[in-house]
Structure 1
């Protein structure tokens, strides 16, 4: 069989994808760049009482996630009314404001407020909506994958760069840097990202408020939402306590990158073949369960590993292999399980749950550390991930499907029902639905055996 020709991205689509991936990555940089050093910094700014110090550590770690969760969907809806770019300018300005406040404060309470302001600049929904406005249906999935790649790289690079940069510019310098980059991103969007010719609601990327109930009733999606909640809560809880463990072992925070570098690099390297095997050999569930098992094993091992930095480093390698597998698998599974015309809503709920995990992990992680020390923190992580492992093992394996979408020509929109029946008759088609305006057809198709050429011919009337 001849290899299918990939539809090339147009120049304006490429500009949109690269610039908006950068903006999205910068939003994540606000959380990740300070993550390895934030707990020590907040601890140093708080009062003399140890319990009060740890309380402020938890609030500083958690505040970002709470405001992010609360404002993510409302700002996305606002972008439908006043424009995508205006909301992005507003969000990145708020994010920069929070960054600069954090950079110039020596007070723990003000740091918590600054982190909350940072999280309030929730532009992710507006960014994905703008990207959808600027890309054709046939290349949109590829453009969105560029955003996913930017997030993964930002996370790994941040864990290594954060301790190194803090040695030269301090944690406050890290906040100032993110503020400056935020303002630069506004200029990038204004002068480089193309302007959309029209605003549309895209069911594949945006939330349909009236259909959130459908997502919340889907038990498979609920399992995945709990999964991202547990993964992010565990991550934040670990980084609430782990920097203190490394400091107890005699490692200054500027040296922590030597522990994180091999863990993040090897985590990325081993994640790639695992994901390929899962996708190409229909082993997604097995790979997914493996990822959760590795995270759980590493969290349990951390309880007994704090006597040696080398053992901690080895355990973190296991942790980040599992973590990276799950970070890549979870959005893919949401996409496979959610109805094609409900994918945007499903991802909106998923992203909100992710932010709630950040909030919960920071808050409870610091509380467990204050009450029970390192055992309490890693024990908490084991409990929530252990529940996730059980949920994943008892869940049905996802179908080996993919989502494809095409524009529906004006001439064919008068008989969408007839067009639906014709597409459903094509080989490998699992489900067919249309956007509310009938301009886009969403198809959930088998990864192997889908007659894409026939569907294309139906849409051009050949």
Structure 2
């Protein structure tokens, strides 16, 4: 990476990480803590409060992406972060689960993921883009690990309302990073058409990736309606769940080390399909483990899930940015993040309903079926050709000349 690419990747990774830390801080404790609010005895309503964020974000991702194509990435990102912060403070003051639903929905209205990802794609070359996206994914995963350790301890001291306050403050801090650290966005010439949504919706490979990210995040969020309870049943108190989460997340990042080399050797498709298969097998494992939870088995299954999930988180947005028409990159990532957000919503809402009505085994069975459908749909994908590096181009020219 060049110095400018490292600066762009680092600053935007911080924005993603800080924003996601705020969201992840409530994830491992939300279902348990929301039960203390009026209306918290309804698992389906709690699931709605957890997942409604994804619904409002899904509705607004495409408008934010289109706006970033037309009016500039940084302006749109700052506006979205302000809305996200407002929703965080509403949730912090919530007196009931219904107010948590309102706060979470307003959080989702700050739908900046598409604009941030598009800005990162604008500022990095194709040859290093997967690495840049992986840096963002790694920062998100690191924040997830931090939240798993910090959330149980923080919630005992400051409660769920305190966690939402931290979330709002982090969002405001991200605005400063956008304007004072992130490099300026590339100049967009006035005669270049922007935001051609029709080009995106008619693009088969892009739509396949959109369906995939919906499934992945629906499965991810639905899991957390059941996994904490399984760990408790296996004998691990909720304030010690980080002892399972942290090592599995960290170990999964170590296992990602081979991804970049395999991509450069032309094996991106194989890695992508293998990651989907690993997540599928993890869901089948959880289905079997739900009958008699065992701590070593649950730990191993979480490790395999995070391995597959982290690889997919790094490769999918990179593929979208490389396959999308350059003039509609923000729109393409808007559609992609819309399906991602709707996946969050479906995972929370449907996951809560499944946990209430058919139990953990039924939930993981539904998740495994979704992963199988995705694997079949993705089987015929073709990865874009990896462009040559500057050194390779010079070597070819020297050989030819």
When the two structures are superposed, what TM-score results if normalisation uses the length of structure 1? Answer: 0.75
| Structure 1 residue 86, shift from structure 2 partner | 4.0
Deviations 1:297-348 (A, max 9, x none): 1111112224222321121111111212222222233345445655544333
| Structure 1 residue 184, shift from structure 2 partner | 2.1
Match runs of 1:142-181 below 5 Å:
146-181=135-170
Deviations 1:21-52 (A, max 9, x none): 3223223223322222222222332437x5xx
Question: Closer, same or farther in 2 for the Cα pair 1:42/1:280, shift >3 Å?
Answer: same
- Counterpart pick for 2:343 among 357, 368, 371: 357
Whole-angstrom distance in 2 between the partners of 1:300 and 1:327: 21
Question: Closer, same or farther in 2 for the Cα pair 1:200/1:308, shift >3 Å?
Answer: farther
SS in 1 for 2:288: coil
Match of 1:91 in 2: 80
Verify: 1:294 aligned to 2:278, yes or no.
yes
| Structure 1 residue 387, shift from structure 2 partner | 0.6
Verify: 1:256 aligned to 2:198, yes or no.
no
Question: Closer, same or farther in 2 for the Cα pair 1:317/1:15, shift >3 Å?
Answer: closer
Tell me if structure 2 keeps the 8 A contact 1:295–1:319: yes
Whole-angstrom distance in 2 between the partners of 1:234 and 1:202: 42
| Structure 1 residue 152, shift from structure 2 partner | 3.9
| Structure 1 residue 202, shift from structure 2 partner | 12
Question: Closer, same or farther in 2 for the Cα pair 1:166/1:201, shift >3 Å?
Answer: farther
| Structure 1 residue 107, shift from structure 2 partner | 0.8
| Higher relative contact order structure (alpha carbons within 8 Å, sequence separation ≥ 6) | 2
Verify: 1:231 aligned to 2:231, yes or no.
no
Alignment RMSD (CA, Å): 3.4
Whole-angstrom distance in 2 between the partners of 1:229 and 1:354: 5
The runs of 5 or more residues in structure 1 that have no matched partner are 1-5, 403-444, 456-462
- Counterpart pick for 2:109 among 117, 120, 124: 120
Match of 1:416 in 2: none
Match of 2:3 in 1: 9
SS in 2 for 1:55: helix
Match of 2:13 in 1: 21
Question: Closer, same or farther in 2 for the Cα pair 1:202/1:327, shift >3 Å?
Answer: farther
Match runs of 1:202-241 below 5 Å:
208-210=194-196, 212-241=197-226
Match runs of 1:307-322 below 5 Å:
307-322=293-308
Tell me if structure 1 keeps the 8 A contact 2:256–2:311: yes
Question: Closer, same or farther in 2 for the Cα pair 1:199/1:29, shift >3 Å?
Answer: farther
The runs of 5 or more residues in structure 2 that have no matched partner are none
Question: Closer, same or farther in 2 for the Cα pair 1:218/1:372, shift >3 Å?
Answer: same
Tell me if structure 1 keeps the 8 A contact 2:248–2:299: yes
| Structure 1 residue 372, shift from structure 2 partner | 0.3
Write 1 or 2 for the structure with the bigger share of helix. Answer: 2
| Structure 1 residue 356, shift from structure 2 partner | 1.1
Question: Closer, same or farther in 2 for the Cα pair 1:216/1:287, shift >3 Å?
Answer: same
Larger-gyration structure (1/2): 1
SS in 2 for 1:154: helix
Deviations 1:46-89 (A, max 9, x none): 437x5xx1121211121111111112232344456665444333
Verify: 1:57 aligned to 2:43, yes or no.
no
| Structure 1 residue 232, shift from structure 2 partner | 0.4
When the two structures are superposed, what TM-score results if normalisation uses the length of structure 2? Answer: 0.85
Question: Closer, same or farther in 2 for the Cα pair 1:254/1:343, shift >3 Å?
Answer: same
Whole-angstrom distance in 2 between the partners of 1:202 and 1:155: 42
| Structure 1 residue 109, shift from structure 2 partner | 0.4
Match of 1:104 in 2: 93
Tell me if structure 2 keeps the 8 A contact 1:129–1:202: no
Whole-angstrom distance in 2 between the partners of 1:449 and 1:280: 14
| Structure 1 residue 371, shift from structure 2 partner | 1.0
Match of 1:270 in 2: 255
| Structure 1 residue 195, shift from structure 2 partner | 5.8
Match of 2:373 in 1: 387
- Counterpart pick for 2:173 among 168, 184, 190: 184
| Structure 1 residue 201, shift from structure 2 partner | 7.7
Tell me if structure 1 keeps the 8 A contact 2:117–2:333: no
My pick for the range that moved more, 279-288 or 14-23, is 14-23
Deviations 1:276-314 (A, max 9, x none): 353133222222222111111111111222422232112
